[in-house]
C-alpha cells in the first residue's frame, strides 16, 4: 500500500476513533477503568483520628514513636494491546477494523490520562511499542497495526503470552486481540490473569468460520492484491466459556455498543 494511502487511512481511523471515544466512551471508560488504588507517598507522626491500619509498626518500633503511612491515589493506568498479526489477521479489512477498535479504546485511555502500549505477535512477539500517553504514540500504534509485516505467519498465543509476561511490566489492563484459532494457551491465560486485568477481544470474518481445520487455503486480498496462505489450527474457542471479559466482533460490525456493555459490566464488578 502506498505511503500516501496509509497516511490517509491512519488519519481516518484516528478521527473516527477520537469522535467515538470522546462522545460515547470516555465517560464510561473513566468510571469503569480506574487506577489500581493507593500508592505509598510518605511517613509522618501519628495524630489522633488517623486510621490505625496505616500505622507503620516497624518504623514506630525503631523510632520509639508512632508513625503512619500516607498514601496518594494512583490514577494512571497502563493499557497494553497484545495483538495477533499472524496470517489470519493479515487481510487489510481486518487489520483496519482491529486498528479502529484499538484506536478507540486507546483514545479513551489517553483522554483519561492513562498510558498505552502495543505488542504485535505471530508465533512470537514481533514488535513492541512501549507505553506512552502522547497522540504521536497513538498514531504510531495505528500505523504499526496497519502496516507491520512479518515473515512468520503462524500463530502461537501460548509463546507470545509467555514472552509478554517475561517483560515484567507494571500491572495494567491487557486487551488481547485475536481470532483465537490456536490451542494449548489456557494455562498462559491464567498466568496473565494473575499479573494483569485481561480482556479478550475476538475479531473474525464470517467467511473464515466455515473453513475446515488444518487445510491450507490460498486467498488474494482484494485491497492489496497480496497472496495469503491460511490454515485454521483449531476449532476450539475455550476462552469464551466462563470468561466474563470476553467480546467478539465480526469485521465491519458496529463495535461501540459491545464496548459500552463491557465497560458497564466492569462497573458492576
Distance CA 54, CA 47 (A): 12
* Cα distances (Å, whole numbers) of residue 55 to 46, 67, 89, 195, 238: 8, 6, 53, 28, 46
| Domain stops at, among 22, 47, 74 | 74
C-alpha cell at 169: 511490566
Residues 50 and 177 in one domain: no
Q: pLDDT tens per residue, the chain (269 residues)?
A: 446 676 777 777 777 777 766 655 555 555 555 555 555 567 888 888 888 888 989 989 988 999 888 765 556 789 999 999 987 655 668 888 999 899 989 988 888 788 999 999 999 999 999 999 998 999 999 999 998 988 877 889 999 999 999 999 999 999 999 988 888 888 999 999 999 999 999 998 776 666 555 555 555 544 455 555 555 555 545 444 456 688 889 999 998 888 888 777 654 55
| Domain stops at, among 24, 56, 74 | 74
Residues 181 and 225 in one domain: yes
Residues 158 and 188 in one domain: yes
Residues 245 and 158 in one domain: yes
Q: According to the model, what pLDDT value does residue 101 have?
A: 92
Structural domain span for residue 217: 3-33+76-268
Q: For the chain, how many structural domains are there in total?
A: 2
Distance CA 44, CA 173 (A): 33
Residues 262 and 140 in one domain: yes
Residues 83 and 137 in one domain: yes
Residues 238 and 176 in one domain: yes
Which CATH number is 169's domain given? 3.40.50.410
Q: According to the model, what pLDDT value does residue 43 have?
A: 85
Q: According to the model, what pLDDT value does residue 201 have?
A: 94
Q: Which of 28, 39, 77, 81 is nearest to 268 (CA)?
A: 28
Q: According to the model, what pLDDT value does residue 29 have?
A: 56
DSSP 8-state secondary structure symbol assigned to residue 48: T
* Cα distances (Å, whole numbers) of residue 214 to 25, 51, 158, 232: 39, 61, 19, 6
Q: According to the model, what pLDDT value does residue 155 have?
A: 86
Residues 177 and 246 in one domain: yes
Residues 154 and 83 in one domain: yes
Residues 261 and 180 in one domain: yes
Residues 6+ apart with CB under 8 A from 78: 114, 115, 116, 117, 131, 169, 170, 171, 172, 173
Q: According to the model, what pLDDT value does residue 54 have?
A: 86
Residues 62 and 151 in one domain: no
Residues 166 and 54 in one domain: no
Amino acid at each position: 500500500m502506498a505511503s500516501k494511502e496509509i497516511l490517509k487511512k491512519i488519519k481516518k481511523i484516528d478521527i473516527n476513533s477520537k469522535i467515538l471515544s470522546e462522545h460515547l466512551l470516555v465517560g464510561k471508560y473513566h468510571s469503569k477503568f480506574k487506577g489500581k488504588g493507593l500508592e505509598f507517598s510518605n511517613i509522618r507522626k501519628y495524630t489522633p483520628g488517623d486510621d490505625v491500619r496505616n500505622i507503620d509498626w516497624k518504623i514506630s518500633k525503631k523510632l520509639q514513636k508512632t508513625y503512619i503511612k500516607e498514601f496518594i491515589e494512583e490514577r494512571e493506568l497502563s493499557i497494553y494491546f497484545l495483538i495477533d498479526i499472524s496470517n489470519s489477521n493479515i487481510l487489510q479489512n481486518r487489520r483496519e477494523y482491529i486498528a479502529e477498535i484499538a484506536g478507540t479504546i486507546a483514545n479513551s485511555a489517553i483522554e483519561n490520562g492513562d498510558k498505552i502500549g502495543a505488542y504485535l505477535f505471530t508465533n512470537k512477539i514481533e514488535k513492541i511499542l512501549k507505553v506512552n500517553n502522547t497522540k504521536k504514540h497513538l498514531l504510531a500504534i495505528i500505523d504499526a497495526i496497519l502496516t507491520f509485516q512479518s515473515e512468520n505467519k503462524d500463530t502461537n498465543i501460548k509463546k507470545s503470552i509467555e514472552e509478554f509476561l517475561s517483560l515484567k511490566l507494571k500491572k495494567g489492563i491487557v486487551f488481547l486481540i485475536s481470532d483465537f484459532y490456536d490451542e494449548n494457551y489456557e494455562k498462559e491465560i491464567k498466568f496473565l490473569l494473575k499479573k494483569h486485568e485481561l480482556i479478550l477481544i475476538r475479531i473474525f470474518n464470517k467467511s473464515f468460520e466455515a473453513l475446515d481445520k488444518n487445510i491450507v487455503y490460498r486467498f488474494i486480498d482484494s485491497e492489496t492484491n497480496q497472496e495469503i496462505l491460511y490454515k485454521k489450527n483449531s476449532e476450539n474457542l475455550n476462552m469464551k466459556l466462563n470468561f466474563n471479559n470476553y467480546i467478539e466482533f465480526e469485521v465491519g460490525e458496529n463495535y461501540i455498543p459491545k464496548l459500552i456493555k463491557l465497560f458497564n459490566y466492569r462497573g458492576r464488578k
